[in-house]
A = this chain, B = another copy of it.
C-alpha cells in the first residue's frame, strides 16, 4: 500500500469546505442545500414517488416534505397525483425551477472551476474521472 492519508480524512474536510463555500451562492439564489439537491436530482432523474426521491438523495422522507412544499409554493416544482396511482405524487421541475437550477449551478460551477484551476492537468482530469466513476457506484458498493 502506498503511503497516503486516509481517503475519508481528505474527502470529508474538502467536501465540507466546498459546501461551506457554496452556501452563500445558494443563499443568493434563495435555495437551501436540500432544495438545491432536489432541483438537481429532479432534472436528471424523473421521480415517481417522494419516498424514492428521499431515498436516492439520502434525505429523510418525512423531512423532505416541507422542502417540497416550499419549492411547490414558489412554483419551482410540480407535484401532481399520479393518475395511475393516486397515492403517489409525480414530481417534476417547472420551467422556473429549471431556470433557477441552471442559474444556480452555473454560479456554483464557476466557483468550482477556480478550485480545479489549482490542479495540474493530469490530476484535474483524473480527479473528475474518478469522481464520476465513484459517484456512479451504487451505495452498497462503496467499499
Residues of A within 8 A of B (CB): 1-2, 4-22, 37, 40, 58, 105, 108-116, 118-120, 122-135, 137, 139, 142-143
Contact = CB atoms under 8 A, between A and B. Distances in A.
A123 B123 contact: no
8 contacts: A8-B15, A9-B37, A11-B11, A18-B143, A112-B143, A115-B143, A119-B129, A122-B126
Main secondary structure of the interface of A (DSSP, over half): helix
A21 B109 CA distance: 29
A7 B11 contact: no
A1 to B, nearest CB: 6
A6 B1 CA distance: 30
Contact of A123 (B15, B16, B133): B133
A143 B123 contact: no
A132 to B, nearest CB: 7
